[in-house]
Structure 1
Amino acid sequence: MQHTGILRSWNDERGFGFIAPTHGGAELFVHFSAFPRDGTRPTPGERLSYELGTGRDGRPQAVKVVRSAVGEARERRAVAPVQARSAVRDHDAGRRPRGGHRRSQPSVLGLLTLAALLLIGGGWAYQRFKAAQPLPPSVEVPTSPMAPGRGTESPHPRFRCDGRTRCSQMTSCAEATWFLQNCPGTEMDGNHDGVPCEQQWCTSPVAR
C-alpha cells in the first residue's frame, strides 16, 4: 500500500533519515537504499511516497520510496516536448492555408451572373403581376343616340356600369337601354325584345 509523507530530516554522511507521515503518527526510518538510484540526493522538506516495510531490527521503515518532486519533474520533462510539438503544429496550421478546406471566394463573373438572373426574374414577375391586374371596375362609354319616341334625354348621355341591374335602380329609359346594351347581368328585359323596363320607363305612360 502506498503512503505519503515529508522527509523531515536527512543525514547525508550516514545515508538515512526520517519521514513524517502525512496522516500523522511516529516518524518513519528511511535508508538511502530505499530511494531510486537516479544520482540525486534526498532533501529535507520534500514530499515522498513509499511503502511500509520492516528493517533488520524488526521495526517498520519506508521502502520503495518515490520522490514526488523528481516524479513531477520527470513528468513535466516528458510532457513538455509533446506540448511543444503540438503548439508548433497548431501554429503552422494557423499560418498555412488548408488546401482541402479553403473557402472559395465568389468570382466577379458569378456575381454578375447572379445579378442578371435576379433582374430577369424581377422583370418577369412584374409583367405577370401587371397582366393579372383586373380592369377598372367602371368605364364610362358614350351612349348611342336614343331611339325616337322613347324620351327626351340628351342624344349623347354618358353612363357607366356601376353594378345596378334592375329597373327599380334606373332613372330613365335611356339609362336602362344603355345598361341593357353595355353592362353584364342586367335583369331589365323580361320578354327579350330589346326594350328594357317597359312597365317602368320605356313604354309606360309615365315613362321618360
Structure 2
Amino acid sequence: MFHEGKIKSYNTERGFGFIQRDQEKDIFFHITDVPSRHIEPKVGENVKYLIVEENGKFKADNIVRLDLKQNVMLPNQSKNNPITVSKSQLNKTNLTGNSSKIFTIIGLIVIVILSFMLYEKYQQYQEQKKQRLQELMQKNENIVKGQRKALGDFQSEGLSEQGRKNLYGDSATNTLNNTDMREPVQKQVISQFKCDGRQHCTQMRSYDEAVFFLRNCPDTKMDGDRDGIPCEQQFGRH
C-alpha cells in the first residue's frame, strides 16, 4: 500500500534522506529509489512511496514525486525547447483518449445491435407478407368452392326448352333430350356464372356471361331485338 509524506531532509553528497510521515517516525530513502534523480529532491516535496524491508531495516521504495513536472517532447519540438506538461495533464490526455476509444466501441456495438434488430423486423415482415398471401389465396379458393357448390353442375333438365335451343341449337336439343350429353367447354362456361341481379350489357364482363344471363336469369335487358344474341354492339356480334 502506498503511503504519502514530504521530504524532510536530503544529503546531496551521500545521496540519501528522510521522508516525514504524519504521526509516524521518519522513514529513510536513497536516491537510487527516486525517479528522475538527476533532479535533486527538495525539502518539502510531496511524495508517495511503498515501505520495504532491507537488511533488517525499513525504507521507502518505488517513490513517486507528486510535485515533479515531467518534460515531454512533442512532435516538431526540438530538444532545446521542450514543452513542460504536468502529470495531471498527461493523465487527462490519457483519459480523453481512452474515453474516445470506449465511445467508439460502444457506437459499433449499438450499430451491430440496430442492424440485427432491423434484420429481424425485415424477416418478420416477409413472414407476415407470405402468411397474408397464403390466407388470401385460401380465402379465394374457399369463395370459388362456395360458388361452385351453390351453382352446382347445370344439368340439361334444368334448362328450359328455349334455353336448350338457344344454347345448343335445335338439332342438338334432341340429342340432349335422348343422351343428356353436353360439350365440356360449354358446361364449364355455364357453371362459372351466377344470377346476381345484373340486367344490362354494361354490367357484363364477357359475351359468354351475357349469354348465360340472357338464357338463365330473369328480367334481363340485353336483347332488344329479341334475336337471342345479347349485347351485339358491345361484343361485336352482328
For the aligned pair, the TM-score class normalised by the smaller chain equals 0.3 to 0.5
> Which protein is bigger by CA-based radius of gyration?
1
Which structure features the higher share of helix residues? Answer: 2
Higher RCO (CA-CA < 8 Å; seq separation 6+): 1
Give the structure-2-normalised TM-score. Answer: 0.31
